[in-house]
């Protein structure tokens, strides 16, 4: 267990705030969120100014790894062109501070905050974004590759395609249904291009952070519906990256060019799984253009978000991944957590994390990252859903470790 990574995860847009400081350019999420009046992320956890306090919290917690994301619009305000030195300096200082206290930096290069100017050119619908992403990766790797332990090019491409472009509940708010599929291929291509670039800078370890869900048929008659859902949520991303092929049902709908699959399919040092809950599916009702319909899972406890608490779903999806991809590299659970509102006494979160950590250990993973260190800006739900081991008072920015923080500290230290 000595090499086991005990971590916490965050993302830039959800915690940093300081949306116009240090030369940062606007992202798709800055444009998307003002719709919600004052429930936007212009301040969030003010981590851009309070990062030292947050590193101190992690030292107190005893984690040996911290997964955070770099805001592309801080590095290249318009998504292309020369580096914004102030942006890179910010992450350089953070990485140094982490290394100083023995916390391994785990960097996600893209956690959904596409520079707005790139979106104007089509965003992930435009194949060129993979080249832009490779350029951006090189700028970051050139500065940080000597100290970053793990690299994750893209967080949860499935959610970008599904929530951002297919149904539009996330930025950039497009509801294209199946016409969103090219974004999946471009996200995969950008992953592959970034892996090439990171290798050229001798990155220590490169992997993924894919969102996975076991897809459960509601009845034996709904197996095809569950498989159809699993293809677009799980396999559209895992299959090409791990085995160089797309699921048959979607392959013809993707703008694949010669050589793309070789770029996408490169050896990885680890495979990151973000897991929250399983999904239950049934065959579509009449008039539904999709090949499946979601059904509520109501026989398990629910989080404040209404998500079912099913720890065995985590071991189930890891087993399924290993069966489907026998070459699966070591697995890290790169996100696992739940939303509960209590300021300090969060017994439900402790139960959630305890169950999921046990399932992860039983599945033989090499690391576990709790989502999240802090309460933060929870995308379309604003500040209404709290995922932190640390409570944040968004009026005063006061941080208060919850009971789950102390619980995790004891688990890590073996007390």
Q: Which residues bind ligand BGC (CB under 6 A)?
A: 11, 14, 155-156, 159, 211, 274, 335, 371, 378
Is 345 catalytic? The answer is: no
Token pair of 217, please?
Answer: 């048929």
- Mark whether 156 is an active-site residue: yes
Q: How far is it, in rounded angstroms, from Cα 218 to Cα 296?
A: 9
User: Looking at 119, 231, 316, 335, which residue is catalytic?
Assistant: 335
The SS3 call for residue 2 is coil
| Residue 159 or 176 having the CB closest to ligand BGC | 159
CB of 206 to ligand BGC, least distance (A): 19
Q: What angle do CA 115, 233, 206 make, to 5 degrees?
A: 60
* Cβ-based nearer residue to ligand BGC, 83 or 194: 194
Bridge partners for 272 per DSSP: 332
Catalytic residue among 16, 119, 156, 316: 156
Determine how many CB atoms are found less than 10 A away from the CB of residue 142.
Answer: 14
CB neighbours of residue 123 within 10 Å: 23
Least distance in angstroms from the C-beta of 233 to ligand BGC: 12
Closest distance to ligand BGC from the beta carbon of 260 (Å): 25
Minimum CB separation from ligand BGC for residue 213, in Å? 10
> How many CB atoms neighbour CB 337 within 10 A?
24
Q: How far is the CB of 374 from ligand BGC (least distance, A)?
A: 11
30 or 156: whose CB is closer to ligand BGC?
Answer: 156
- The DSSP 8-state label assigned to residue 37 in this structure reads T
**Which contiguous run of DSSP H or E holds residue 150?**
strand 150-154
Taking the least distance from each CB to ligand BGC, the nearer of 156 and 222 is 156
H helices of 84-207, in order, are 85-100, 116-120, 129-144, 157-159, 181-200
* CB of 41 or CB of 242, closer to ligand BGC: 41
DSSP-derived secondary structure letter, 271: E
In angstroms, give the least distance from the CB of 13 to ligand BGC: 8
For residues 393 and 231, what is the distance between their CA atoms, to the nearest angstrom?
40
Nearer to ligand BGC, 11 or 27 (CB): 11
Distance CA 257, CA 27 (A): 29
> 38 CB contacts (<8 Å, ≥6 apart)?
none
DSSP conformation class of 258 = T
Catalytic residues: 156, 335
């Amino acid at each position: 267990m000595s090499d086991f990574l005990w971590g916490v995860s965050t993302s830039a847009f959800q915690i940093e705030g300081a949306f116009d400081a240090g030369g940062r350019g606007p992202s798709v999420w800055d444009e998307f969120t003002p719709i919600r009046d004052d429930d936007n992320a212009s301040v969030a956890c003010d981590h851009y100014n309070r990062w030292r306090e947050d590193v101190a919290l992690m030292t107190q917690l005893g984690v040996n790894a911290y997964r955070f994301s770099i805001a592309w619009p801080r590095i290249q305000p318009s998504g292309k062109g020369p580096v914004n030195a102030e942006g890179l300096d910010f992450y350089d200082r953070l990485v140094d501070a982490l290394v100083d206290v023995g916390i391994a930096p785990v960097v996600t290069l893209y956690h959904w905050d596409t520079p707005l100017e790139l979106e104007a050119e089509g965003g992930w619908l435009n194949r060129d974004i993979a080249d832009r992403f490779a350029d951006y990766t090189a700028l970051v790797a050139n500065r940080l590759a000597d100290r970053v332990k793990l690299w994750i090019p893209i967080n949860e491409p499935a959610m970008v395609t599904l929530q951002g472009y297919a149904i539009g509940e996330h930025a950039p708010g497009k509801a294209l249904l199946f016409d969103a599929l090219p974004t999946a291929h471009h996200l995969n291509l950008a992953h592959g291009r970034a892996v090439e670039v990171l290798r050229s800078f001798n990155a220590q370890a490169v992997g993924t952070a894919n969102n996975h869900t076991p897809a459960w048929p509601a009845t034996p008659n709904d197996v095809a519906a569950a498989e159809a859902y699993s293809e677009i949520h799980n396999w559209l991303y895992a299959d090409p990256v791990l085995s160089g092929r797309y699921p048959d049902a979607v392959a013809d709908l993707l703008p694949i060019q010669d050589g793309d699959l070789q770029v996408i399919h490169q050896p990885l040092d680890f495979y990151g799984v973000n897991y929250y809950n399983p999904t239950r599916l049934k065959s579509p009702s009449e008039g539904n253009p999709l090949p499946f319909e979601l059904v509520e899972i109501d026989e398990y406890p629910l989080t404040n978000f209404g998500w079912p608490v099913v720890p065995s779903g985590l071991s189930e999806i890891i087993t399924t991944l290993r069966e489907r991809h026998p070459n699966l590299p070591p697995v890290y659970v790169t996100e696992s957590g739940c939303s509960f509102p209590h300021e300090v006494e969060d017994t439900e979160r402790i139960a959630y994390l305890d169950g999921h950590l046990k399932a992860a250990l039983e599945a033989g993973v090499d690391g576990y990252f709790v989502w999240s260190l802090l309460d933060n800006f929870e995308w379309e739900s604003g500040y209404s859903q709290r995922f932190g081991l640390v409570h944040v008072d968004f009026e005063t920015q006061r941080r208060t470790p919850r009971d789950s923080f102390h619980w995790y500290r004891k688990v890590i230290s073996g007390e």
